């Protein structure tokens, strides 16, 4: 391998440097940070994040995090801003400019225009003696001692610090807004994460039908019912009461146990005290219950009555697993 470097040792060095950079931010959470949170909470407009180069990429990630946790945010590229995109900014917006040096040509051109608009300007900056820091209303200090890059050039620890400061800001805003898991689900309806927060058992089980037999039904009917619904099980119901469950596994064990099945009925092979879940519960809770009991399906109830079956395959299809 070129230069015979110790790959493991080098990777550990990078991670330790970046961890140290994040740890150093703890002492930089000051009054300015608190005031920025207050400004954003009182904001009638949006948070506009801007930057150039790698800082622009980090700014876009912070925008995504803010939007998904209840704070409206927009990204504006610093280079594009001075060529027409300044029109994005409205009078009630707050601007956060990201820069390691705070002295890039684009930032020096952009900042006077931002100040002219009289919007509050926050510098998320790695140099508190910079042009950007001097012109900002608030400073979020992300200074790092050095980059993890062997040449101390490529943004590594500095962008990690920017990202961590952005996360701290977003989470503080989320907590202050009392942004709940239900709120979070509204912003993530299409992904597996969102589905865990809003998809109910009934949303899946209602499409499966209601396989059921009575305790006196012949085993032939039991097998036909299980086969018809393709859920690997059927409920055993007596006078509208759930008294048991028969699964594919019960059928196999029956064949091992009995030489003849001609006189067998559902009550002879059913399992008592089946695991159940209410139709109004979150589907992800059904997954937890299946895993706890090492089973593949649950009987679903609605107002105490049998309402169907939810199968682990239903959860797989929805991407919850």
Q: Cα 259–263–269 angle (5° rounding)?
A: 75
Q: Is the pLDDT at 157 greater than 70, yes or no? A: yes
Write the CA distances from 84 to 79, 87, 116, 312, integer angstroms: 10, 6, 15, 53
Q: Is the pLDDT at 87 greater than 90, yes or no? A: no
**Claim: this prediction has a pTM higher than 0.75:** no
Q: Each residue of 236-294: pLDDT tens digit? A: 999 999 999 999 999 999 999 999 999 999 999 999 999 999 999 999 999 999 999 99
Model confidence at 116, pLDDT cuts 50, 70, 90, reads confident
7-21, 48-62, 102-116, 187-201: lowest mean pLDDT where? 187-201
Instruction: Specify the 3-state DSSP secondary structure of 301.
Output: strand
Q: Which superfamily is assigned to 2-179 in CATH? A: Glucose-6-phosphate isomerase like protein; domain 1 (3.40.50.10490)
- Could you tell me the residue ranges of all domains in the chain? 2-179, 198-317
Question: Under a CB-based contact definition with an 8 Å cutoff, are residues 249 and 169 in contact?
Answer: no
Pick the CATH number of 198-317 from 3.10.580.10, 3.90.1170.50, 3.30.70.270, 3.60.130.10: 3.10.580.10
Q: Residue 231: name the closest of 304, 290, 278, 305 by CA.
A: 290
| Percentage, residues of the chain above pLDDT 90 | 80
Q: Residue 135: name the closest of 165, 99, 164 by CA.
A: 99
* Spatial distance between the Cα atoms of 222 and 214, rounded to a whole number of angstroms: 9
Model confidence at 198, pLDDT cuts 50, 70, 90, reads confident
* Per-residue pLDDT, 271: 95
**DSSP letter string over 138-155?**
EEEE---S--SSTTS-SS
* Per-residue pLDDT, 179: 77
**Mean pLDDT, rounded, for 96-124:** 93
Q: Residue 26 gets which letter from DSSP?
A: G
Model confidence at 187, pLDDT cuts 50, 70, 90, reads low
* Spatial distance between the Cα atoms of 119 and 123, rounded to a whole number of angstroms: 13
Residue 188 annotated as binding site: no
């Amino acid at each position: 391998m070129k230069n015979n470097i110790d790959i493991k040792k080098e990777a550990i060095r990078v991670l330790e440097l970046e961890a140290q950079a994040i740890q150093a931010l703890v002492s930089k959470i000051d009054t300015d940070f608190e005031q920025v949170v207050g400004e954003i909470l009182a904001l009638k407009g949006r948070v506009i994040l801007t930057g150039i180069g790698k800082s622009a990429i980090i700014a876009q990630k912070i925008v995504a995090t803010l939007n998904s946790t209840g704070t409206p945010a927009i990204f504006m590229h610093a280079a594009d801003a001075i060529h027409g995109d300044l029109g994005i900014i409205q009078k009630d917006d707050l601007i956060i400019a990201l820069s390691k040096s705070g002295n890039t040509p684009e930032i020096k051109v952009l900042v006077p225009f931002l100040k002219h608009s009289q919007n509050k300007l926050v510098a998320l900056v790695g140099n508190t003696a910079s042009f950007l820091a001097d012109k900002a209303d608030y400073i979020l200090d992300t200074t790092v001692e050095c980059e993890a890059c062997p040449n101390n050039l490529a943004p590594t620890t500095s962008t990690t610090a920017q990202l961590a400061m952005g996360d701290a800001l977003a989470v503080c805003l989320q907590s202050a807004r009392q942004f709940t898991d239900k709120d979070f689900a509204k912003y993530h309806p299409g992904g597996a994460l969102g589905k865990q927060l809003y998809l109910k058992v009934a949303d899946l089980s209602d499409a499966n039908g209601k396989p059921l037999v009575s305790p006196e039904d012949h085993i032939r009917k039991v097998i036909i019912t299980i086969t018809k619904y393709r859920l690997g099980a059927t409920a055993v119901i007596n006078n509208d009461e759930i008294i048991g469950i028969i699964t594919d596994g019960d059928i196999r064990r029956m064949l091992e146990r009995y030489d003849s099945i001609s006189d067998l009925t559902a009550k002879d092979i059913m399992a008592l005290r089946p695991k159940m879940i209410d139709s109004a519960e979150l589907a992800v809770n059904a997954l937890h219950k299946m895993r706890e009991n090492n089973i593949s399906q649950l009987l679903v109830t609605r107002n105490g009555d049998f309402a169907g079956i939810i199968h682990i395959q239903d959860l797989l299809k929805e991407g919850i697993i």
